[in-house]
Every structure is written in structure tokens, then in C-alpha cells.
Structure 1
Amino acid sequence: MGIVLRQSASNVVITYFGFGIGAINAMFLYTTFLSKTNYGIVSFLLSAANILMPIMALGAHNSLIRFFAYCKSEEQRERFMSFMLWLPLLLIIPICCVGYVFYDEIASLLAKKPEARHYMWLIAVIGFCMAYFEIFYAWVKVHMKSVFGNLISEVLVRILVTLMLIAVHLGVMRQEMFIYCLAAAYALQLLAMMAYAFKIRMPKLTLLLPDNAKEVLTYSMFIIVSGSVATLLLDFDKVMIPFYTKWDDNAVYSLAIFIATVIAVPSRAMLQIIYPITARLMSEQKMDEVDDLYKKSAITLQVFGGLIMLGIFLNIHQMYLIIPGNYAGGTMAVFLIGLSKFYDVILGNNNAIILNTKYYRWALFLGVLTVFVMIGLNMLLIPLYYINGSALATLITVFMYNSVKLYFVVRKLGLYPFTINTLKSFGIISVTFLAFYFWEFPFHPILNIALKSILITVVYVFANYKFSISSEINAVIDQSLSKLKLR
């Protein structure tokens, strides 16, 4: 876990820095400088592009991580990595051709309300940029160089969005032009990642197929479903909401999702490096080490995720008091989506384990079933409860999907992520929540949030350290205290 903790620590700092910029954008700049309608349209476009991304990538980003460790010679690596660059074009070219020929029909189908129909072509452009960005990101991950790639991933677009929103405020850019410029921001992100990937390893392009091309292609086709399910669970609700209610509600819901997604930041940071390590260990059949990594990643992420979740849940009412505009209608959605994200977090590298076994095809059936369940629940619950109905649909779907995947890993592989410390951690989280939820300082919301967060952190960290919930976290704390000469 040494390299995991070192690179994860850097990734956590970078990811939270990026989320800090994103928080300013989502909670203050978007809500102040864009109308709710345009904010809702932006959320719709980005969610639709994110759903299209796994299809356009054709699973190449996952295949690159899965099969790179099997390439033993330099020639095999060159042929394999060239194949990964050409492979997505098998779907990108047909998708773009169909989109061009039937643009009006597709635009009318996707955007029931006319305000957004002339923006629909941006979905394909942004989806393309996202797809190849993920491929080049995987390119650097397999060389264990995730930190700078994470900087590009988490920070660059958010800074560009900040500058563009300021330009809107200053009157330099119209709100409509801002929407178009989003595509340029994602294109710049792609070019930056491509340049860094080529600096790490410049490809020698060839049309020669790798020896395992059939296996890689089969895996890639199946992985589209798995990747699509993950994005659909997070983004499809933001595509469906405008079909049943106003663009404004989509803006409120998008902000709620952004706040809840912060819970998963430690997971995103750590899994950047854990995924390729899991792939290598499983390719070498070192299942005892996989099991150890599984348990350590699950409890470590539960501790980190639990702290972030408490910070959000216990301060959410004060947070909405300082956000411009009337966005407090998303409070319940924050709780529901937050719980779904926490369930994702506590499973550690569960997904990486499934995708690196011979059972990965099993994800096809489960993924398709999950998508149908999610769509059905959204169609049922959004008309009844609006954005809270969509959030509830997401929670139910994620709970079902993750529970089945957990059962599969336990039953088929004999790997189990939970220990007695898992129960202890749940106890600490529950007691902390009950102790602080009904307690508010009679101060300005910002001061209230700061004081309450400090108290929550002190109590929570002390309890986790005292009960030795995560040996990895305790080791880091002991090391820090030694450096400060407090131990």
C-alpha cells in the first residue's frame, strides 16, 4: 500500500483542490452568473456527453489497464497501444455519421423543450473529447504516473469554466456563447492529457493487431455496458428530469448531486492508482494480496468517506443559506444521493476486481437489467416527487446494483471487503451524526459551518484513531505526530 498511499495522498490534494474550484463554480458562479434555465441546459449537455463517453471510447480505457500487464515485449506493447488508439473509431465514425444525417430528429427527441435543441451537437463533441481523454489518462495510469494526469483531469476544465463564467459576468461573453465554449474547454483538456501521455511514452503507430486482439475487442465490447451503467446511474436522471419538469429543477438537482459527489472524492483519488495495481495482482494470480488490498481499500475509504459525508449532512442547511438563489429544494436529494455515493465508497476496489476476472461478461446482464430498473424508477418517481423522486430512484438502483456485485465477488471469488472494523466505523458515524445534527451555532452560516466542521473532525478522527479502525490511517497519523514531535 506504500505507492497507493503516496500517490493517493497527492491525488486527494489535487482532487479536493479541483473540487474546491468546482464548488465555487457550482455553488456561487453558476448560480449567480447563469440563469437557472441555462444552468439546467449545461447540466443536461454534460450529463448526456458523459453517458455517450463510454460508448465512444468503446471500452478502450478499461482494456488498456486490463491487458497492458500481459504485454511482455516492446513489440507487443507498441501493437497493443496503437490498437487502443484506433479501436474507438469503430463506433465514433458511425455515431457521428448518424448524428449528422438525423440531427433534427435526434435533437427533437433529446430536447423536448426548444431552448436547447440547437446545442445538441455539442453532446457528441464533448463526448468525443471525454472518451479520448480517458484513454490517454489510462495510458499514464499503467505507467504509474497518475498524479499529473489527475491534475489535468480535476483542475483544468474547472479553471477554464471559472474564467468563462467571470467573462459572462463582465459582459465579455454571452450566456449562450458560454455553453458553446464548454466544448472548447474539454478539447483543451484532451490535448493537454494527450501531450502528457505522449511525453510519458510516445506511441509508434502501427496497423498490426496485437496477438490477443480478439480477446481485447470482446472485453471492450462488454466493458461498454459496465462503463455505461456507472455513468447512467450518475447522469441519466439529469437527462430525464427535463422531460417531466422545468430546466430550473435540473439546475437545483445538479447542484445537489455536486454537493453529494464530494463524498466520493477520496475514492476517486485512491482508485486511480489501485485499479492498475489490482489488474497486475490478478494477472499474477496473487489473490491473497488482492484480498488484503480489497479490505484495506474498503475500510480506509469508509473512514474518509464517512468524514466527508458527515461534514455535508451536518452542515447542509447552513450551506444552502450562503448559496445565491433559491436552491434549497435540493436538500433531500443531497441526503439520498449522498447515501448512494457512500455505498459506492465502502466497497473499495470491488469494480476493479470484477472487471479483471473471467466473469466480467456477467456484468453485461446485470448492467442492462440495472439500466431498465433505473429508467423505470425514474419514470415512476419523478412525476410523483420531482427531483427527490429521481434521487430516490438513484439510491434504490445503486443499492441493488452494488449489493449484487458484492454478493458476486464474495460468492465467486471468496473475497470479502468487510471486517469487524466496518461495524465499528458505522457506529462512529452514527453516533457522530446523532450528536451534531440538531446542534447549530447562533452565528453567521460560514462561521457556523467552520466551527461545526472542526468539532466533527476532531471527534471523528479521535474516535477512529482510538479504535484503530484503519491501520493505514493510524500509521499516517503516527508518522505525522512523530514529525511534529508530539509522540
Structure 2
Amino acid sequence: MGIVVRQGVKGTVVTYLGVLIGAINLLWIFPKFLKPEEIGLIRVLLDIGMVVAALSQVGAGNIADRFFSHFRDEEKFHHGFLVFLLLFPLLGYLFIGGILLIGETYFIEFYQQKSALVSHYFYSIFPLAFFLVYVGVFEAYSRIHMRIAIPAFFREVLLRLLLAGIVIVYYFKLIDLDGLVFLLISTYAINFILLCFYIKFLGRWYLNAGYLRAKVGLIKEIIYYGLFIFLAGAFGLIATKIDIIILSAYTGLKLTGVYTIAFFMGTIIEIPRRSLSQIVSPLIGEAWRNNDFVKIDELYKKTSLNQLILGVLLLLLIWGNINELFFMIPNSEIYIAGKYIVLIIAISRLSDMVTGSNAEIILNSPFYKINFIIVIISGVLTIAANFILIPKYDMYGAAFATFISFGIMNFIKSYIIYKKIGLHPFTKETLHIILIGGGIFLLLECVPEIGNNNIYWVLFSIGLKSFLTIMIFIFLVYYLKFSAELNNIIDMILQFIKSKLSKR
């Protein structure tokens, strides 16, 4: 367990460092050194590349997680498992790439009128997707060897630092837009090369395919599983990327750039959920294996409650300072148009947090295959909502499509769990937290803005409102004892402070 804990801690630190760098990139460097349409172009190319890469992998990452134990044998080079992980996605890449080439005319026509730059860089999608495919494969291969920190550093920190450097170089006209796109692809090529060297350094670069023949029977099961994951993953990923892909085609890259900034600000509140889901998923899996429904119910309600508390607090901090935050973004007069998108996206993410670990419960349950149906429904619903709403309401249509799909899908997942095992995530504290959060929200709406034209007054305003919001909200949650876990953490902090003061 030592290596698991060490890698987990390192991975968490790297992830949050990456979030910080990503926030600096999207909220300051990009708006400062790029035009909105250039931000939109980068986002569209990356999202299309990620969709193509995910489809091409045919579930290779999930295959690695699920089946590596059947191949594990150092003396026999893990029976050529790495060779299989390299070849299987290559077939998927050639197949998906071929379909994309066949549809080139439609692709170009789809973007030509409003986002001609996307059409111009059509062929850049292929190398970008290729490197994304194998970055994902090598990260999965590292993960099954209990090594996540270094790959996470490459992905979360190094890539973002390189991207920031590229944008600054472009701003000073040392490269043109073609150079910017080329270097964007090169950053993922660097990640790919570094992962190759890292796996070689670990002594796990096994390219002996001879032993693979011993697992021919298992390969058929793996391919079936991969295709199952492929179909579910395809709809799932498309559902998360379709807003940018459609928005850029219907409204142009400028609004896509504005939407990208606002969307990122709205998704900040879900950061605690990512960490909590990684922690709770194995606990739920163990509870399912033991048929311990009391434990599942406890985890379900606790994750819902604690995620709601953290989500509401972050929503209050972001929305309470929304004007000041936009003021601090370079060229804020352009990006302020996305102000209410931040609120819509944040509330949609909050609906995901308040429904707790519904996804983890279903995925670890005996009825996990129902997730395939859920993902397909989600994908179809999201795609349809975007196609209907974006032409009418542009970027706000994209935001409302996300809001609607998140709300409906979380209702479906929660309803399935309730019907199957009679559990739901809500308690009386859920309503109390929503009421407290709503009250503070209305109070913040009544607070007059302080010094919107001076950076020092803006920082003072952010600091003052954030301090008061945290103090009021945390005091009420602590005093009313909504969360035993949160109260324990606060008690530990207070005890630490008290002990330090008593020594003086």
C-alpha cells in the first residue's frame, strides 16, 4: 500500500498544481496574448482531437485496468501486453481516421461559413489525435504499474507550461498561426516521447510479442469488452465536447473563445468531486463485494452532503466576486459577455455534486451494464439539445444544453439506484445547506461593488467578500453540525492553532 499512498498523494498535488496553472493560462495568459477566435481555435482543435483519440483507443485504457492481471508475468514480458496495447488502438486510429478522411468535405462545409480556420487546419487533427491516443495508452500502462505521478506531471503541469510558452512566443510574433498550431501538436509529441522514455526507465518496455500467442483466447474477450467500452465512451466523450464543436460551427470562433473562458470558471466548483470520487470508488466497490448496503448508503449520503457543502461554498465565492474576477481578466470587456454562463455551468455541476456518488455506485454494481444505456441516452440528449439551442441562443444555448443534460442524467442515475436498492443521497441537511447557500447568495447580490476601476480596490473587495462568505457559511455549517467530517477537520485546525498559541 506504500507505493499506492505515495503515488496517490503525489498525483493529487500534481493535479491541483495543474489546475492552478490551467487557471492562469485560461484566465490571464490566453485572454492577454490571444484573440478570442484564437482561443476558440485551440479549444476546438483539442476537443476534436480528443474525441478522435478516444474513439481510436477502443477502450485501451479500460482494457489495461481490467485485464492486466491476466497477463502479469515479468519473466514472460507480461505476455506481450504492451504490444497489444500499441497495436489495438492503432487499428482503431486507422479506422476512425479513415472515416474522418471520407467525411472531409462535410467537415469543411460544416465549419467553412463561421469558423473557416477550423477547416483550414483539418489535417492537423490527425497527428494531434495520434499523439493523444498513445499518451492515453502509455498513461494507462504506467497506471497499472502503480506509477501515476510522473505521467500526471507531464499532462497536468508540463503540457500547460509549454502551452503558455507557445502562446507568449506567438504574441511576440516569433511564430505565425501555423507555427502556433504546429507547436501545439508538438507539445503532445513531447509528452508522448517523455512517456516512452519513462516506461523504458521503469524497465517495463516489453516489445516481445512472442508470448502474446499464449493469450489468444483471452484476446477475444478483451476485444468484446473494448468494443463495449468504445460505444459507451464514444457517446460519453462526445456529450462532454459537443458544445464547443457545434458552437464554433454555428457562431464562430470568437464566441467559442468567450464560452471557453466562462465554461472553465463554472467548472471550478467540481474540483472537490474529482478527488472525492477517486477516494470513494474503491470503498463502494468493496461494499458491493460484501453486499454491505448500509455502507453504500452511508457513502452515498456522505459524498452528497460534503460535495454539496464544498460546491455551494465555491459557487458563492465565484459568483460573489464574479464582476471582480472578470475585471482581472485581460480584455474583460469582451469576456464579460459570458458572465451568466459561469452561473449556469456552475449550477449544472452542483446538480452532479448533490447527487453524490451515483455514477460510482452504478459502475461498481452488478447492474453496471445499465451505465451503457445511460451514457447513450446522455449522449443523444446532449447532442440534440446543443443542435436545437445553439442556433437560437448561441453560447447560452450551449450552456443551457449542458444544464439540461446534467440535470436529467443525474435524475435518471439516482432514480435507477433508488429502484434497484432503495437508496437515495438526500437528508434533511441537504435542504438546510441549500437554504443557507441561497440566503447568502441573495445577500451577496445586495452588496454594492467596490472600486471596479482600480486593481487594489478590486483585490480588497475580493478578499473582504471571500472572507465574510467563508466565515458566515462555515460557521453556520459547523455550528449546526451538518457534516461530522467537516467538523472534525475544523476541530483539528482549531486545536492546532490553540496548541501553537499556548506555547507562546
Q: 1:211 to 1:76 in 2, by over 3 A?
A: farther
Which residue of structure 1 aligns with residue 381 of structure 2?
373
Instruction: Choose which of 419, 425, 430 in structure 1 pairs with 2:427.
Output: 419
Instruction: Choose which of 460, 479, 485 in structure 1 pairs with 2:473.
Output: 460
Q: 1:273 to 1:290 in 2, by over 3 A?
A: same
In 2, the alpha carbon distance for the partners of 1:114 and 1:129 equals 24
Name which of structure 1's ranges 308-317 and 171-180 shifts more when overlaid on structure 2.
171-180
Residue 391 of structure 1 and its aligned partner are, at CA, apart by 0.7
Residue 303 of structure 1 and its aligned partner are, at CA, apart by 2.4
Which residue of structure 2 aligns with residue 95 of structure 1?
96
Instruction: Choose which of 156, 166, 169 in structure 2 pairs with 1:167.
Output: 169
Contact 1:295 1:348 in 2 (8 A): yes
In 1, the alpha carbon distance for the partners of 2:105 and 2:323 equals 43
Residue 46 of structure 1 and its aligned partner are, at CA, apart by 1.5
Q: 1:393 to 1:292 in 2, by over 3 A?
A: same
In 2, the alpha carbon distance for the partners of 1:25 and 1:429 equals 30
Contact 1:225 1:363 in 2 (8 A): no
SS of the residue aligned with 1:484?
A: helix
Residue 394 of structure 1 and its aligned partner are, at CA, apart by 1.2
In 1, the alpha carbon distance for the partners of 2:261 and 2:385 equals 21
In 1, the alpha carbon distance for the partners of 2:100 and 2:56 equals 13
Q: 1:12 to 1:57 in 2, by over 3 A?
A: same
Contact 2:58 2:230 in 1 (8 A): yes
Q: 1:349 to 1:476 in 2, by over 3 A?
A: same
Which residue of structure 1 aligns with residue 18 of structure 2?
18
Contact 1:440 1:448 in 2 (8 A): no
SS of the residue aligned with 1:87?
A: helix
Contact 1:253 1:333 in 2 (8 A): yes
Contact 2:236 2:376 in 1 (8 A): no
SS of the residue aligned with 2:450?
A: coil
Counterpart of 1:478 in structure 2: which amino acid? D
Deviations 1:421-480 (CA, angstroms, capped at 9, x unpaired): 333332332232222232145233232222212222222222333333333333333333
In 2, the alpha carbon distance for the partners of 1:9 and 1:427 equals 35
Q: Does 1:484 align with 2:497?
A: yes
Counterpart of 1:469 in structure 2: which amino acid? F
Which residues of structure 2 form unaligned runs of 5+?
452-456
Alignment length (residue pairs): 487
Residue 481 of structure 1 and its aligned partner are, at CA, apart by 3.3
In 2, the alpha carbon distance for the partners of 1:365 and 1:59 equals 17
Deviations 1:346-381 (CA, angstroms, capped at 9, x unpaired): 344332332334433333333333333222222222
CA RMSD of aligned residues (A): 3.4
Counterpart of 1:363 in structure 2: which amino acid? N
Matches for 1:421-436 after TM superposition, within 5 Å: 421-436=429-444
In 1, the alpha carbon distance for the partners of 2:57 and 2:66 equals 15
Residue 330 of structure 1 and its aligned partner are, at CA, apart by 0.6
Deviations 1:283-329 (CA, angstroms, capped at 9, x unpaired): 67665554444443333332222222221122112212222221111
Which residue of structure 2 aligns with residue 32 of structure 1?
32
Contact 1:25 1:162 in 2 (8 A): yes
In 2, the alpha carbon distance for the partners of 1:43 and 1:157 equals 14
Which residues of structure 1 form unaligned runs of 5+?
none
Which residue of structure 2 aligns with residue 51 of structure 1?
51
Name which of structure 1's ranges 438-447 and 278-287 shifts more when overlaid on structure 2.
278-287
SS of the residue aligned with 1:327?
A: helix
Contact 1:51 1:236 in 2 (8 A): no
Percent identity between the two aligned chains? 29
SS of the residue aligned with 1:395?
A: helix
In 2, the alpha carbon distance for the partners of 1:28 and 1:435 equals 29
Q: Does 1:185 align with 2:187?
A: yes
Counterpart of 1:90 in structure 2: which amino acid? L
Counterpart of 1:480 in structure 2: which amino acid? I
TM-score, scaled relative to structure 2:
0.84
Q: 1:259 to 1:479 in 2, by over 3 A?
A: same
Instruction: Choose which of 155, 158, 171 in structure 2 pairs with 1:156.
Output: 158
In 1, the alpha carbon distance for the partners of 2:205 and 2:335 equals 48
Residue 250 of structure 1 and its aligned partner are, at CA, apart by 0.8
Q: Does 1:392 align with 2:400?
A: yes
Instruction: Choose which of 269, 274, 284 in structure 2 pairs with 1:268.
Output: 274
Matches for 1:68-467 after TM superposition, within 5 Å: 78-79=78-79, 81-82=81-82, 83-100=84-101, 103=104, 106-109=107-110, 111-112=112-113, 113-142=115-144, 145-193=147-195, 195-196=197-198, 202=204, 204-205=206-207, 206=209, 207-208=212-213, 209=215, 212-275=218-281, 278-279=284-285, 282=288, 289-325=295-331, 326-443=334-451, 444-467=457-480
Residue 35 of structure 1 and its aligned partner are, at CA, apart by 1.9
Contact 1:49 1:127 in 2 (8 A): yes
In 1, the alpha carbon distance for the partners of 2:185 and 2:160 equals 13
Which residue of structure 1 aligns with residue 483 of structure 2?
470
Contact 2:36 2:253 in 1 (8 A): yes
Residue 45 of structure 1 and its aligned partner are, at CA, apart by 1.0
Contact 1:34 1:175 in 2 (8 A): no
Residue 280 of structure 1 and its aligned partner are, at CA, apart by 5.9
Residue 76 of structure 1 and its aligned partner are, at CA, apart by 11
In 2, the alpha carbon distance for the partners of 1:23 and 1:54 equals 25
